[in-house]
Amino acid sequence: MRKLVATAALGFGLALPAAASARTLPAVPTELGHPQRRPHLIDYTGDGSAFLGGFTRYHALHKSSPLADFGRLHWTTYNKNEGRAYGADWIDNFIPDGAAGAFHPFKVTVHVYRPRAGVFTRMTIVEQGRSYTFHAHGRDLWF
């Protein structure tokens, strides 16, 4: 019985530092409410014309589609210095215009870095051989 209690206490003691470090990880501005850790969806344009998410069964989505239809980013690395994910960049084609356009997915990798005050302040996305770097302004916006 003593062995069981000692083992349980040791396991609980090891779990506490991991939980505490998870709370100290920087968050990512998503423009969808408060910054989040390992967000599944990021609106990085400020006007809702593109979302970083995941591939789904859809090849195109109308502007009125629920956010859940844009899938989920898959995080491969997430620590106090950086986060790396892959998924889809859903971009509005603006045909015939911004209000009635459709979103189409493109393969993307995402790298967030430069943590300041608990938030990653830089994000680089790479798609179709091009990279784009965004700077966070405040806790919620990418520009």
Q: Name 100's Cβ contacts closer than 8 Å, sequence gap at least 6.
A: 63
Distance CA 39, CA 54 (A): 11
Q: Where are the domains of the chain?
A: 27-142
Q: How far apart are CA 74 and CA 85, in angstroms?
A: 5
Rounded CA separation 125/133 (Å)? 7
Mean pLDDT in order along the chain per 10 residues (143 residues): 42 43 83 94 92 95 92 98 98 90 96 96 97 86 70
Q: What is the reported pLDDT for 30?
A: 93
Strand partners, 120: 115
* Confidence (pLDDT) at 100: 87
Q: Are 58 and 142 in contact (CB under 8 A)?
A: no
